Structure 1
């Protein structure tokens, strides 16, 4: 079987192109640090890598959502801690005001402090999350949930609970509506203030006792909501731990699928370089062949 010069030339050129392509491919892998640079390098691994990458993106998105929820809950818990302190002080003042030893001027002083506490509670009830959203307005979080009309304070939000998905199968309440937290508080304090500011030396003890019972009920309710927020914060910590382990597993799987073994790649790079040099020499030799070489 005779092999023509053209055939030898084509075979040599194909070998050169193949060796050069493999050499460049390994070089690209080393430069990128990835074994699978193009899907054609390993279609199965590339397909699985896309799926794992989507899972990683999902975990990252939920992680961002949890940061937002944690910020809202932490801020809400902090506000309710201050509300609890205000209610404790209000109860202390009401107990003092119930004493018959207080003069009308003393009761006026107590009433003034209660009025200041009421104003502070109004500011706390209208707290925003730093992004202009009101914490305790339910779905109506773009305007102050509590509005003043003279001495009357009314709730203008709604009773809906805002929720946000914090993991694949968990939606968590972000905050609690203000009517469920501050419900009998403003009216209770206003009634007590009215009793203390009334003219006369005799104080309405029954009204003050009722105000104390209402403050106690409000305090217990605030503690319940705070406990719920604390439980949600603890749950977020647990979800973060699970998600962190899941992310580590995904990253390890992705690395196994597409990342490069540098030691192996460098060895192959050296071999491909030798192969390319051999193909280049063979090509040069074939180019030099002609019929005249045999006629000399």
Structure 2
């Protein structure tokens, strides 16, 4: 039994096969032109979904890199400002040492006070440093509020305690600013644990040292008064230590012989008094408080402008300079601590940048494996498809020309 194939069937079948071959060849051509194995998600649904996930992760990694760049710029500005602040504090410390020169007259100290007024203005200006985008570095979350305004006692803080944060990694948020109060206001007085001061009513020449902690386990955090008494002939100076934090006040030490420069020890603390305290003179020992560096400089200016009349005046000047020196050292230590924290964060950003760069390379390599075309294999396939299409076209031409009419003369 013979199978008859109609002319219409020959044409339909041939056209369909040619269209299929041309479509396959066009797809290979598009893959070659784009160097992509997957032109649509239908080409490889699993690889396409994975590539989309990787692309999103890569975009997030790129954004984290941008955030790190912004964070580094902000922290660099903070670091530069803190370096300038530490320079100003160091200069003020030098002026304190200079002011203690026994040969200086009152007019000399007045000149130093005038210079300190300029230093105070410079410090407040640094505390009000702009972040370059219309805000302030040290105002916390209230970035558009000027942090400090000068007052008769120093400067008043108008910002808040916040630190602006920025996402610099998938699991890392980093502070890119510092609160002004933490830098300029949170300065411990005295030696950081307790503060010694001479009473304003003292008439003698006693000068008290900042002191030090000898046994932290014995610290009470109480307020003490060291009272001096001078009596007898020849005059004998003694002192008593009174704890004013209990009621009634309790004697800690009583009628102890005084030797200039000898240590006074009680309740885990130690300090000394030099010079000659007068009868009724008193020195206080209190827990350290938080004080603004601007208040310290303002008090120092007042100290320099107070005449050092007589031995009592000279002692008051020496005590005032010693207090200012301790407080400014604490201020410098605090600024350096904050600056070290900023530097640690900048170093961490460098490490995160290196990790981010490695991660981006990994993402790119994985995406390349999923999406990129094997050029050698694709070119070979394209040549094969081209040969197949040409053969199909030739065979279709030959078949379509078969007709009995070609043999009828």
Bin the TM-score by the shorter chain. over 0.9
Q: Please tell me whether residue 208 in structure 1 is matched to residue 316 in structure 2.
A: no
The structure that is helix-richer by fraction is 1
Instruction: After superposing the two structures, state which structure 1 stretch, 39-48 or 164-173, moved more.
Output: 39-48
**Structure 2 partner of 1:86:** 88
How far apart in 1 are the matches of 2:307 and 2:403? 127
Where does structure 1 lack aligned partners over 5 or more consecutive residues?
none
* 1:37 Cα deviation after fit: 1.9
* 1:295 Cα deviation after fit: 5.0
> SS at the partner of 1:130?
coil
Q: Structure 1 residues 34, 80: closer, same or farther in 2, change over 3 A? A: same
278, 291, 294: which one pairs with 1:186? 294
Q: Structure 1 residues 16, 98: closer, same or farther in 2, change over 3 A? A: same
> SS at the partner of 1:80?
helix
**Structure 1 partner of 2:8:** 6
* 1:62 Cα deviation after fit: 0.7
Where does structure 2 lack aligned partners over 5 or more consecutive residues?
186-291
TM-score (norm 1): 0.93
Deviations 1:230-267 (A, max 9, x none): 11111111112222211111110000000122222222
Q: Please tell me whether residue 281 in structure 1 is matched to residue 283 in structure 2.
A: no
TM-score (norm 2): 0.69
Ranked by relative contact order (alpha carbons within 8 Å, sequence separation 6 or more), the top structure is: 1
Q: Please tell me whether residue 196 in structure 1 is matched to residue 304 in structure 2.
A: yes
Highest CA radius of gyration, 1 or 2? 2
Map 1:73-222 to 2 at 5 A. Answer: 73-149=75-151, 152-183=154-185, 184-199=292-307, 202=313, 204-222=317-335
Deviations 1:49-73 (A, max 9, x none): 1011011011011111111111111
How far apart in 2 are the matches of 1:212 and 1:152? 17
Q: Structure 1 residues 293, 148: closer, same or farther in 2, change over 3 A? A: farther
228, 242, 259: which one pairs with 2:372? 259
**Structure 1 partner of 2:228:** none
How far apart in 2 are the matches of 1:75 and 1:126? 13
